[in-house]
Homo-oligomer: A and B are copies of this chain.
Amino acid sequence: MRIISIDPGYERVGIAILEKETSSSKEILLYSDCFQTDKKDSFETRLKFIGEELEKLIKEYKPKALAIESLFFNSNQKTALKVSEAKGVIKYMALAQGLGITEFTPLQIKIAITGYGRSDKNQVTTMLPHLINIEKKVKYDDEYDAIAIGLTYFACNPNK
């Protein structure tokens, strides 16, 4: 089973592609990155960039499902609406390519990675290298978040 997992955004999009060969084997990280859109571009151009880059990745790696983080309201409501628009683009692109979609809340992700729902971002990030081999240097938290979402998918779907 191969999946793509995404930490959604319109400035930075964390992306990981994970594979698990059998239900008892360890997850393998095939790819991870953080797309960054250009601040000088219009919001529309940034949405288009996200959709196009994602389309290329899905066509190259052919994952069967998308795992994506649920969005909750934070202090900045305007940002939340923009991230939701980006999320719409990401989900539509996955649906158009035939992927199933599962959303995970931050609570589900924390429990899956650290076993504890009140763990902070650092605890999640620190735990990740114990769970999966990350060979590349990760620059942005968004990329770690995407890897965590992917691992949560397999933790919640143990037979895949």
Q: Which of B48, B77, B85, B92 contacts A51 (CB 8 A)?
A: B92
Q: Name the interface residues of A7-51: CB closer than 8 Å to any CB of B.
A: 44, 47-48, 51
Q: Bound complex: CA of A92 vs CA of B86, how far in Å?
A: 9
Number of A residues whose C-beta is below 8 Å from B? Answer: 22
> Contact partner of A88 among B47, B73, B95, CB < 8 A?
B47
Partner of A47, one of B51, B73, B86, B91: B91
Inter-chain CA distance A84–B82, complex, in Å, is 7
Q: What chain B residues lie within 8 Å of A82 (beta carbons)?
A: 84
Evaluate contact between B91 and A92: CB separation under 8 angstroms.
Answer: no
Q: What residues of chain B lie closer than 8 Å to A101, measured between beta carbons?
A: 44
Residue of A73, A81, A95 with highest tally of chain B CB at under 10 A: A81
In the bound complex, residues from chain B placing their C-beta under 8 Å from that of A91 are 44, 47, 85, 89
